[in-house]
Amino acid sequence: MDEYLWSVIKNRDSMTEESQAEDFIADAERHNEWWSEGIGQDLQDATDRTPRSDFHEVLKSVHEEDEEGSSNLVYPIYGSTGIGKTTLLYQLVAALIETTDFPLRDPGFDIISSVSPRQILYVPLEDSLYHLERPEEGIERLKQVVDYFHTHIAPRHGRKYILLDDIDILNLDEGEKETLLEFVDEDTYLFLTGIVREQVNLRELSKAGNIDHVEWPWGVLPMKFIDTIGYPEGEGGLNVDFSNEFRDQLESYRSDRLSGPNPIKDVRKGLNLKSSDTDIQSAIESLNSLYFDRFGPSERDDLHDAARDYLRKGGTLHRTTDSSVRNEIIRSHFLLYLYKGLAKYGSIQNPENLHRLSSIAASQAGEELKYTEISERIGVDRRTVDSYLGVLDDGIAVTESHDYSLRRHRRTRLYLRNPRHVVLLSQRQEHFGFEEYSQQNVLNHEFEYKLARTVAFDHAMRLSFSVKAYEVEYCPTDAGLVDYILHRDGIVLPFILSYHPHTDSAEQIALEFDPRDGQHTEDGSENLRELEYEAPYRFIVTDSVPKKVRENESLVVEHNDVSICYLPYWLFLLIC
């Protein structure tokens, strides 16, 4: 080829590459308005919203790493589309920047308002140009932006904070994920968000590196019941007007960082199935104290009403009070997550099948299903159904519950993790009266029970994480169903849901349940574990506490050497 023509081609390619790099850098400057003047509208909008508990957990972790002198850190965060990951990152920026007034619950953290605006780089990959690039080119453009930040923006001394939002857009393989660790120089804290755990999990890749600490991926879910109590109704909070004093008291009950007793934390500590200090009797005493001593009659009534309101609203924050707009936003986010995010992650050619499975989970709401029935309804084989359910579970969209005894291994129960999805994906004749977020003059106890069952499962999953249990399972008896079973190494916590209109036989189910029915295999094997199963207590989760419990001022009732602990539905949600 002619030398002149070759030089022209080289120069053209060089100019194109330089021009593209400039585009990505200019885009980064636009998204980091705090580098120049002001904080920008997106950051202002985030600071106007009440931070959720996930934000405080992240901020606490960063504070602790700073206190321990960690020179670098990787903090991965994942969750569904629209769940609040971007808002969390913006609020973290606001908390760190010294020029931003962002009132916080933990003003004692030294890292708050300690950072120059030019020490922070925020890259929203979904809202930038990266989705137009091939993976290998996208990561190169990101490296150029990070390099520009280090050489032209950030001061030479002092910690740098790099926040990469929607890293799943890059579609990185394991080798390309290692490139992300190159951004973590000394005195650099890196935050990543994605839609599923594995996209942001760098713990294994970092073992050979020089990184002080890599956090386990933090999953962002719809807010728990106890968290929604602290939010104004206009943002999606509950319509029960709790005083600030009561909210602070409730927060102190679950946190040892605040003064006073911590009975909620004490319950979780007593139920910790992995700890050598497991003390279920102590947990029962803390539950009794919470119900009879810590909360007065009016507060118990308010918490009962708040739990019913939570069933209607779920744990999703909103910027509008218009019910139809709220519903459309939630529906759109969920369908976008299924058809775009999870379908791409799972390489699924027919994402409508994820939609169908989610709709089945909504209409069945925890009822037992045969895998063959699911296969026939969707029109795929069992192996494909398993792969779909695996993707939905990775995305914390739909979770399976399996039989505690392994005797019905061809069956499953499906639960949506967001109660509002149960409303939006079920049929109109099922959810009538629940389209609105406030109480209507329509009685639909059957659908309320479906929501209560779904919410209780979601909270049981969270409790299993707190108490180091294995998966939440179920167990049929002749009298009825033990809905949620938490267990580890033979210690069993069975929970029976007694919620109107399904309140019959709860005590009989508790008496018939035999923990020795449990069968569980060794990890990665079909061999059964040899365990001595025992359940010191059976728990009945109820929306109507029996008169005998109130009169005796004890949540525990003894029946033929079986100890049954009644838990008000709202109290069960509080401790999860």
- Give residue 278's pLDDT: 81
CA gap 392, 357 in Å, rounded: 9
> According to the model, what pLDDT value does residue 7 have?
46
Sheet of strand 411-416: strand arrangement: 368-370, 411-416, 398-401
Smallest Cα–Cα separation from 91: which of 78, 104, 80?
104
pLDDT of 8 > 50? The answer is no
| Total-model pTM | 0.92
Compute the average pLDDT of residues 483-504: 96
d(CA 210, CA 194): 24
Predicted confidence at residue 208, as pLDDT, reads: 59
**Is a pLDDT exceeding 90 seen at residue 355?**
yes
pLDDT at 241 over 80: yes
Q: Between residues 174 and 195, which one has the greater pLDDT?
A: 195
- Kindly tell me if the per-residue pLDDT of 14 is higher than 80: no
Q: What gap in Å lies between CA 496 and CA 212, rounded to an integer?
A: 44
What is the DSSP pairing of strand 481-488 with strand 368-370? unpaired
Query: What pLDDT, on the 0 to 100 scale, is given for residue 399?
Result: 98
Q: pLDDT (tens digit, 9 = 90+) per residue, 111-153? A: 888 899 999 999 999 998 888 888 778 899 999 999 999 999 9
Which two structure tokens, joined as six digits, stand for 535? 């359940």
- The rounded mean pLDDT for the chain is 90
What stretches of 312-410 adopt beta strand conformation (E)? Answer: 368-370, 398-401
| H-helix segments, 152-260 | 174-181, 197-200, 203-206, 225-228, 244-254
Contact 309, 240 (CB under 8 A): yes
Within 10 A of 296 (CB to CB), how many other CB atoms are there?
Answer: 10
Interatomic CA distance for residues 487 and 493, integer angstroms: 6
Among 11-25, 439-453, 561-575, the range of highest mean pLDDT: 561-575
Q: Give kind and range of the element (H or E) at residue 47.
A: helix 41-47
248-282 burial, b at 16+ Cβ within 10 Å, e below that, comes to: ebbbbbbbeeeeeebbbbbbbbbbbbeeeebebee
Judged against a pLDDT cut of 90, whether residue 28 lies above it is answered with yes
- Could you tell me which residues come within 8 angstroms of residue 198 by beta carbon, excluding any fewer than 6 positions away? 394
- Summarize pLDDT for 494-547 with one digit per residue, the tens: 999 999 999 989 999 999 999 999 999 888 888 899 999 999 999 999 999 999
Q: Please state whether the peptide bond connecting residue 501 to the residue before it is cis, i.e. omega within 30 degrees of 0.
A: yes
Distance of alpha carbon 340 from alpha carbon 384, whole angstroms: 19
The pLDDT value given to residue 231: 84
The CA distance from 271 to 74, in Å, is 31
Q: Domain limits of the chain? A: 16-220, 323-575
Q: How confident is the model at residue 207 (pLDDT cuts 50, 70, 90)?
A: low
pLDDT in tens, 42-80: 888 888 888 888 998 999 999 999 999 889 999 999 999
Q: Give the pLDDT of residue 473.
A: 97
Beta strands in 364-456 (DSSP E): 368-370, 398-401, 411-416
What pLDDT score was predicted for residue 17?
Answer: 53
Mean pLDDT of 254-278: 85
The per-residue pLDDT for 107 is 61
SS (H, E, C) 506-544: HHHHHHHCCHHHCCCECCCCCCECCCCCECCCEEEEECC
Task: Give the pLDDT confidence score for residue 5 in this predicted structure.
Answer: 39
Q: What is the pLDDT of residues 360-405, one digit of tens each?
A: 999 999 999 999 999 999 999 999 999 999 999 999 999 999 999 9
Whether the CA torsion 414, 563, 304, 231 is positive or negative: it is negative
Helix, strand or coil, per DSSP, at residue 81: coil
Which residues have C-beta within 8 Å of that of residue 75, sequence separation ≥ 6?
A: 58, 61, 62, 189, 190, 191, 192, 215, 218
The C-alpha atoms of residue 266 and residue 403 are separated, in whole angstroms, by: 30
Alpha carbon distance 139, 299 (integer Å) = 54
User: Is 228 a residue whose pLDDT tops 90?
Assistant: yes
Other beta carbons less than 10 A from residue 110's beta carbon: 9
Q: Which of 93-97, 428-432, 495-499 has the highest mean pLDDT?
A: 495-499
- Of 14 and 482, which is predicted with more confidence? 482
Whether the Cβ atoms of residue 571 and residue 287 lie closer than 8 Å to each other: yes
56, 105 Cβ separation under 8 angstroms: yes
The widest CA-to-CA distance across the chain, in whole angstroms, is 99
Alpha helix ranges (H) inside 271-351: 280-288, 297-313, 323-336, 343-345
Give pLDDT, residue 565: 98
pLDDT for position 115? 92
Q: Provide the pLDDT confidence category of residue 441 given band limits of 50, 70 and 90.
A: confident
Paired with 565 in beta bridges are 539, 556
Q: How far is 25 from 379, CA to CA, in rounded Å?
A: 48
Q: Does domain 16-220 have CATH number 3.40.50.300?
A: yes
Which pLDDT score is estimated for 318? Answer: 81
